[in-house]
Amino acid sequence: MMKSSLFLLLAAAPATAFMPIGTPTQSHTALSATTSDDEQSTRRTMLTTSFAALTALATPLTATALETYLTEPTEEFKESERQRMEFRKKQLGQKAQFVKLLARLTGESSTEEELVNDLVELRALVKETEGLPLGIKKEDMYKVIRSKKAKGFWPTNVEIAYQGMKSEVAYQQSPNRDKDMENPL
152-173: pLDDT as tens digits: 888 899 899 999 999 998 888 8
- Answer whether residue 84 shows pLDDT above 90: yes
What mean pLDDT is predicted for residues 16-42?
56
Q: Can you give the pTM of this predicted structure?
A: 0.54
CA distance 72 to 171: 43
CB 172 within 8 A of CB 138: no
- Answer whether residue 48 shows pLDDT above 90: no
**Of the spans 17-31, 32-46, 81-95, which averages the highest pLDDT?**
81-95
Q: Between 127 and 40, name the one with better pLDDT.
A: 127
- Answer whether residue 24 shows pLDDT above 80: no
The b-or-e profile of 59-96 (16+ CB within 10 A means b, else e) is eeeeeeeeeeeeeeeeeeeeeeeeeeeeeeeebeebbe
Domain ranges of the chain: 95-173
pLDDT of residue 3: 54
Percent over 70 (pLDDT), the chain: 61
- Answer whether residue 28 shows pLDDT above 90: no
